[in-house]
Amino acid sequence: MSAPKAAARAAENSKVFRTLARIGYVVLGIVHIVIGAVAISIVMGSGGAAADQGGAMAQIRQTPLGVLLLWIIALGLLALAIWQIVQAFLERNPDAKKKWGYRLKYVGTAVAYLAIGWTALVYALGGQSSSSQSSQVFSAQLLATPGGVFLLVLIGLLIAGIGVAFIVRGATRAFKKHLNLPSGVARPGIVTFGAVGYIAKGIAIGVAGILFIVAAFTHDPQKAGGLDSALRTLAALPFGAVILWVVGAGLIIYGVFCFARARYAKM
């Protein structure tokens, strides 16, 4: 057995590491609940905070023991990211036996968890971060390069595709294969929360991808933004308040689903 595979097997068999990974799902749920609550606050007219990971971390830091919680979030998401990478390359994982596309899905998820964990670490150390500003700066730099418009459209399509994948996963209940669901009345509740949560998150991510494409075609990097810009764009649509209420509530539901995922995820 190669050294990387031996390390992956040791990580998978470690009870402490598995516990940390499950904690990762719990803190992921907390982050989504806060983002959903901030999204709803935008509808209520008190949305001063950003409805993204940075805004969620800022809100968490203001709570009692907020800095400690941010450190726990960073550690839990690091463990969860490593767990995803382990699952990508262990042969006994059914998806890892398939093509590289399945492995890339796990690695991509790990990168997303690391990004959120890094944001938590930045806020734990007293800093701050804005996904919208970062996206706009990145878009401006990209548009200034040869082929930048094409690359920005490609990035937008990729992000929008991830959003569609979330929607499909929720609509088809494909996430169930990664859970050891309990019997009884809890089972349909968990599945319903998962379906609603995945679809709501997919809508938000999809809109963020569309904003990158709009920025490319209009040559205006200010139109590009992260999750906060996507949610505020939804609010500006006809019936936007209703749409944002639904998406915000859906993100909260996704957060609650993450709590169930921490308990019932196959590990």
For 104-147, how does the pLDDT look when each residue is reduced to its tens digit (9 = 90+)? 777 888 888 888 888 888 888 888 766 666 677 777 777 778 88
pTM to 2 decimal places: 0.82
Beta bridge partners of 179: 265
**% of the chain beyond a pLDDT of 90:** 20
> Residue 3 burial (CB < 10 Å; 0-12/13-18/19+)?
exposed
- The pLDDT of residue 96: 47
Nearest to 247 by CA among 260, 234, 261: 234
CA distance 118 to 129: 10
C-alpha distance from residue 94 to each of 2, 31, 98, 110, 266 (Å): 20, 30, 7, 18, 12
8 A C-beta contact, residue 28 and residue 113: yes
Euclidean distance between the first and the last CA atom of the chain, given in angstroms as a whole number: 21
Alpha helices in 90-185 (DSSP H): 100-124, 131-143, 148-172
- The pLDDT of residue 128: 76
Q: What is the average pLDDT value for the chain, to the nearest integer?
A: 81
Q: For Cα atoms 76, 38, 203, give the angle at the middle one, nearest 5 degrees.
A: 80
**Ranges in the chain, pLDDT < 50:** 93, 96
CA distance 197 to 140: 32
- The pLDDT of residue 181: 87
CA distance 227 to 202: 11
8 A C-beta contact, residue 20 and residue 232: no
